[in-house]
Amino acid sequence: MFFFRDTADLDPDRASGSRVEVAFTDASLDLREAAGLPAALEALRSATGVPFARMDQVHAADVVDREGAADGVPTADGQVSAARELGLMVRVADCVPVVLADLASGVIGVAHAGRRGVQEDVVTRTVERMRLLGATELAAWVGPHICGRCYEVPATLREEVAARVPSTYAETSWGTPALDLGAGVTAQLAASGVAVTTVPGCTREEPRLHSYRRDGDAAGRFAGLVWLS
C-alpha cells in the first residue's frame, strides 16, 4: 500500500506530543475518481486511523483551508489544515506531490505541482497559507514524480517554464528538451526557507507507481498523504 512512510515528532509544548505522519502510496491502490475510490479511501483510513480530504486538481495555484471534515472535494491544487483527526491528500500520476508540516504547531499542507503549478508557484502559495495559520518550522517531503530525464517537452515550452523557474531546465536521457519539475519545486521550497526531504523514484521508470506518461489513459493515481498521530 505504501511506497514510502516517515514520521517526525512535533514540539511537545505546542502540539501535545503528537507526531506528523507522511506517506506516499503505491500502485496497489488506485485513487482516481472512479468506482473503486471509496474502497481505496476506506483502506487508507483503516491503515492510518484518519479520513483524508482530497481535491479536484486542475493544474492551477489555488489553495484552500480544510477545517476538520473530509467531506467535499474543492477545486484546488493546494490545501492546508490546522485540524486534528484529519489527513490531507494530493493525487498524482507524474506531477510532483508535495506534503508539508509545521513541526512546531502541527499545521499540515499538500500541493499538486504539475508543469503549470510549478510555473504559478503553487508550492509557495501553500507555504504562505500555512504560515497564516501559524506555521513557523516547516518541513516538506517531495514525493516521486516523472524525472527530468523522462519528461520530454517541446523546446519552446522548456524555454517558457525555465524563464520563470530556471532550475527546471533539463534534457532527456535521449537528448531532447525536458523539464525537471522536482528540481523546480525543491528550489521554490528552499527559497521559502522550508527544509526538504526528497523521496526518490521516477514514476515513468518505477513500476510500483502510477504514470500517465507510461500508461496513458489507463494510468491510476497514487497519493501523497500527511496527518497527525
CATH annotation of 2-228: 3.60.140.10
The three grid cell numbers given for residue 31, joined into one nine-digit string? 485513487
Domain ranges in the chain are 2-228
Closest by CA to 117, choosing from 145, 81, 76, 153, is 76
Count CB neighbours of 191 within 10 A.
Answer: 12
* Strand ranges inside 51-191, DSSP E: 52-53, 63-65, 78-81, 87-92, 96-102, 108-113, 138-142, 169-171, 177-179
The pLDDT of residue 43 is above 80 = yes
pTM reported for the whole predicted model: 0.96
The residue type of 211 is S
In whole angstroms, what is the distance from residue 132 CA to residue 78 CA?
A: 14
67-126 residue pLDDT tens: 877 889 999 999 999 998 899 999 999 999 999 999 998 999 999 999 999 999 999 999
In whole angstroms, what is the distance from residue 51 CA to residue 128 CA?
A: 25
Q: What is the mean pLDDT of the chain?
A: 95
